[in-house]
Amino acid sequence: MDYLYDGSFDGLLTCIYHHYYREAATGIYPQSFYQPNLLSPSMVVETDPALADRVYRAIEEKISARALETVYHVYISSAPDKENLILGYIGLGFKMGAKVDHYHSHPAVYPVHRLERKVIGEAHRLLGLLRFADMGGFLYAVMAPDHNVLPLLGDHFAERLAGERWIIHDKKRSLAIIYNGRDSSSCKSPVRSRWYITDFSYNLEDNMPESERRWQRLWQTYFQKVSIESRYNPRLQSRCVPHRYRRYLVEFQIPAPGHDSETEDSRKRFPRTPSIPPHSG
C-alpha cells in the first residue's frame, strides 16, 4: 500500500505510524506529486497529530534525539524519495537503537547521512550568503534555496539581529520567517519562540528605498577592491559561491559600467512598503 500524506512533518510521521500498526507501506509520497499506478494501491492518510507525536517520541526514545534531528533534516530536503529513505532509516534504527548512526556505510544509513549533510551544509552556507536590505522599518532578505532550510535559519538571526525586525523570504516555496523585534515580553522567552514561519507571497524586492542603494554600492565597491588580480581564480570562486545563489547577492549585481544608476533609480517611485503582518502566534 502506498501512503499519501499532506506534505507536513506530522503527516509523514502519521504514515509511519500506520506503516507499523496497520499495514506495511510500499512507499510514502506527498499527495500533491503522486502519480497513481496500477501496480500498487494507494491511500490518502489523514494527518493525526496524536499519532505523529507517538512516532516522534518513539524515535527519540528508541533510537536517539540525534536520529530525530536527522529525520527532520531529511524531511526538509528536496530529495524526491526522502520519505522512503526515512522509512528505511527508522526501520533499521528501531532494530539497532542509537548505534544506527555508527553504521555509516549501510545502504539505509549512508544516503540519509549524505542528504542530511547537504541540508545542513546549505543552511550553513546561507547563514553567510543571505543579504538583508533595510526597507525602512525592517530588514528583508530573499533566497531560493535547494532545500527547505528556512526553519534552520531562524534562531541564528533571531539572536544576531535581536534588536531589528526582519523577514527572510523563501521565494521558491512562498514562505517566510517573520521576526518582530525585541519587545519587552519576548525578551526573556527563548529565541525559538520569537520568530515564526508563514506563507508569504509578497514581492518586496522592488520596494527597496533609495537610501539602501548607497550601502549596496559601498559593499559592491568593497567586494571588487579586495580581490587580487594576479590571483584571479573564477573556478574556485564558482565552487564556493555557486551561480544559483548569486541572483540574490548584492555583490554580484554590479551595474554595467557607464550606467548612471543614480538618476535612473530616482525616477522610480515606489508604492508604500507593506508593513509586517502582526504576530499570529
Partner 1 sequence: MDILAKLGILANAAKYDVSCASSGVSRKNQGGIGNSKSFGICHTWTSDGRCISLLKILLSNDCIYDCRYCVNRRSNDIPRASFTPRELAELTIQFYRRNYIEGLFLSTAVERSPDYTMEKMITVLRLLREDYEFNGYIHAKVIPGADPLLVYSAGLLADRMSVNIEQPTEESLRLLAPQKSLPKMFASMQQLKEEIQAHKEARRRFRHAPRFVPAGQSTQMIIGATPDSDLTILRTTQTLYQKFGLKRVYYSAYVPVNQDSHLPALTASPPLLREHRLYQSDWLMRFYHFKAEELVDPQHPNLETDIDPKMAWALRHPEFFPVEVNRASYEELLRVPGIGPKSARRIISQRRVAAVSVDQLKKLGVVFKRAQYFVTCKGVCPAKKTLDPAAIRRIVAPESPITQLSLF
Position 98 contacts partner 1 (CB under 8 A): no
Strands 139-143 and 166-170 turn out to be parallel
Measure the CA–CA gap between 164 and 26, rounded to whole angstroms: 48
CB closer to partner 1, 199 vs 229: 229
The type of residue at 244 is R
User: In this chain, which of 99, 172, 192, 247 binds partner 1, going by CB under 8 A?
Assistant: 99
DSSP helix/strand/coil, 10:
helix
Minimum distance of partner 1 from residue 96's CB (angstroms): 7
Relative orientation angle of helices 9-21 and 82-96, to the nearest 10 degrees: 50
Alpha helices in 22-101 (DSSP H): 49-58, 65-75, 82-96
Residues from 167 through 226 that contact partner 1 (CB under 8 A): 215, 217-219, 221-223, 225-226
Of 48, 41, 38, 36, the residue nearest 12 (C-alpha):
48
Query: Residue 120 interacts with partner 1 (CB under 8 A)?
Result: no
Q: Rounded distance, CA 144 to CA 147, Å?
A: 9
Smallest gap from Cβ 124 to partner 1, in A, equals 8
Applying CB under 8 A, which part among 31-39, 59-67, 195-203, 236-244 lies near partner 1? 236-244
Closest Cα partner for 46 from 6, 16, 1, 86?
A: 6
User: What residues from 242 to 271 belong to the interface with partner 1 (CB under 8 A)?
Assistant: 249-251
Query: Is 237 a residue that touches partner 1 (CB under 8 A)?
Result: yes
The one segment of 43-51, 152-160, 170-178, 198-206 that binds partner 1 by CB under 8 A: 152-160
Residue 230 interacting with partner 1 (CB under 8 A): yes
Would you count residue 62 as binding partner 1 (CB under 8 A)?
no
Q: Give the separation between CA 26 and CA 276, rounded to whole angstroms.
A: 44
- Report, in Å, the least distance between residue 158 CB and partner 1: 9
Among 48, 53, 60, 164, binds partner 1 (CB under 8 A): 164
Which residues have CB under 8 Å from 167's CB, separation 6+? Answer: 138, 139, 140, 141, 176, 177, 178, 179, 200, 204, 276
Residue 110 touches partner 1, criterion: CB under 8 A:
yes
Q: Which of 139, 197 has the CB closer to partner 1? A: 139
Q: Give the amino acid at 108.
A: A
- Residue 241 near partner 1 by CB under 8 A: yes
13 vs 153 by CB, closer to partner 1: 153
Q: Supply φ then ψ for residue 170, to 5 degrees.
A: -90, 100
Task: Count interface residues toward partner 1 (CB under 8 A).
Answer: 54
- 227 scored as a contact of partner 1 (CB under 8 A): yes
Closest residue by Cα to residue 34 from 42, 23, 26, 24: 42
Which residue, 118 or 217, is less far from partner 1 as judged by CB?
217
Footprint of partner 1 (CB under 8 A)? 96, 99, 101-106, 110, 124, 127-134, 139, 141, 156-157, 159-164, 215, 217-219, 221-223, 225-237, 239-241, 249-251
